[in-house]
Amino acid sequence: MDEREFGRSGQHASVVGLGTWQLGADWGDVDEKDALAVLEAAAESGVTFFDTADVYGDGRSEQTIATFLGGRPDLHVLVATKMGRRVDQIPENYVLDNFRAWNDRSRRNLGVDRVDLVQLHCPPTAVYSSDAVFDALDTLVEEERVAAYGVSVETCAEALTAIARPHVVSVQIILNPFRMKPLREVLPAAREAGVGIIARVPLASGLLSGKYTKDTVFAENDHRTYNRHGESFDQGETFSGVDYATGVEAAAEFAALAPEGYTPAQLALRWIIQQPGVTTVIPGARSAEQSRANAAAAKLPALSDATLQAIEDLYDRRIKEQVESRW
């Protein structure tokens, strides 16, 4: 699989990576055997970038990655984790002592001396404007606790503030055919600055797979049930913030745009891969089959201008008004 560079860092990642939120929690139950099978299928498909976080299953996702990579010393995988969501979300908690403690825990979970890439995990907006926060992150690099750092953001404005920081190597942001605003504001600024873009929530929490109807029921411990209106964390993380009924109808239209040989999910991933400035896209998977199908999107032919335009028209007509003013 093709790899792309994280601008300033010299690090590289496969154009399709693997998001591992599903392997920790908040998507229903996934047992360890299935989780390890997802990681194996991704690696065998050429994926060299795993994204995790210290709160996914309270560390379970990090530990599962460590178990898998511990048994596959032949693999070179860049592992990115995130920190900051284990405490009350106030700027005062984003200090060096906490960073060290969070990093110590992630390094234990991952079984490494140095984390490849650590990201602030959607912190309060004020954190992005704090010199002390980024000085502390620089200290983690100087202490060889982390090789590089980036941020995971909710809004385009947060992304632009972070991109202006000289040592930020990556910005993780929601980007998919139901969330296009970053194409205009964030990706050009990142390209200019040499900052990598990690596209998350690429399938709008599964909406873009085309598998759901208005009658689909998700498990009680699935965020698509308990966070549909932002009850537990930012609503934009669930179905990209799109009202579910609207999303299901728009997803059916989207699925009809898939060229022969593409699944709807692969259409969404291929669309993201083709956006200038994207380094990697990180779909999640609950099965080895899903993991392989996601990775296969990297090898599909480029989408035609007509298909790209049809996707943009669908967004403008059905989605834009719901999401652009909020994120």
Reduce the secondary structure of the chain to three states and give it as a string: CCEEECHHHCCEEECECEECHHHCCCECCCCHHHHHHHHHHHHHCCCCEEECCCCHHHHHHHHHHHHHHHCCCCCCCEEEEEECCCCCCCHHHCCHHHHHHHHHHHHHHHCCCCECEEEEECCCHHHHHCHHHHHHHHHHHHCCCECCEEEECCCHHHHHHHHCCCCEEEEEEECECCECHHHHHHHHHHHHHCCEEEEECCCCCCHHHCCCCCCCCCCCCEHHHHCCCCCCCCHHHCHHHCCHHHHHHHHHHHHCCCCCCCCHHHHHHHHHHCCCCCCEECCCCCCHHHHHHHHHHHHCCCCCHHHHHHHHHHHHHHHHHHHCCCC
71 inside domain: yes
At 29 the pLDDT is 67
205 inside domain: yes
CA distance 194 to 111: 30
At 9 the pLDDT is 82
- Residue identified by tokens 């385009």 is 156
Token pair, residue 316, equals 């403008």
At 147 the pLDDT is 97
Residue 121 Cα distances to 87, 172, 306, angstroms: 11, 9, 37
Residue 57 Cα distances to 18, 30, 74, 76, angstroms: 16, 11, 27, 24
Q: What is the pTM of this model?
A: 0.96
Question: Which residue segment(s) compose the domain that 290 sits in?
Answer: 3-322
Token pair, residue 1, equals 């699989």
Residue 63 Cα distances to 35, 122, 124, 198, 274, angstroms: 11, 22, 27, 22, 33
At 53 the pLDDT is 97
Question: Does residue 170 contact residue 195 with C-beta atoms inside 8 Å?
Answer: yes
CA distance 315 to 92: 38
261 inside domain: yes
121 inside domain: yes
- Residue identified by tokens 């000085």 is 135
The CATH number assigned to the domain holding 213 equals 3.20.20.100
At 8 the pLDDT is 80
At 28 the pLDDT is 62
At 27 the pLDDT is 56
pLDDT (tens, 9 = 90+) of the chain, 327 residues, equals 999 998 788 899 999 999 999 887 665 667 889 999 999 999 999 999 999 999 999 999 999 999 999 999 999 999 999 999 999 999 999 999 999 999 999 999 999 999 999 999 999 999 999 999 999 999 999 999 999 999 999 999 999 999 999 999 999 999 999 999 999 999 999 999 999 999 999 999 999 999 999 999 999 999 999 999 999 999 999 999 999 999 999 999 999 999 999 999 999 999 999 999 999 999 999 999 999 999 999 999 999 999 999 999 999 999 999 999 999
Would you say the C-alpha torsion 143, 144, 147, 151 has a positive or negative sign?
Answer: negative
CA distance 177 to 272: 8
Question: Does residue 174 contact residue 19 with C-beta atoms inside 8 Å?
Answer: no
52 inside domain: yes
Report the length, in residues, of the chain: 327
Tally the domains of the chain: 1
At 26 the pLDDT is 62
Burial 1-31 (b: 16+ CB within 10 A, else e): beebebbbbebbbbbbbbbbbbbbbbbeebe
Report which of 80, 89, 45 is spatially closest to residue 61, judged by C-alpha positions. Answer: 80
327 inside domain: no
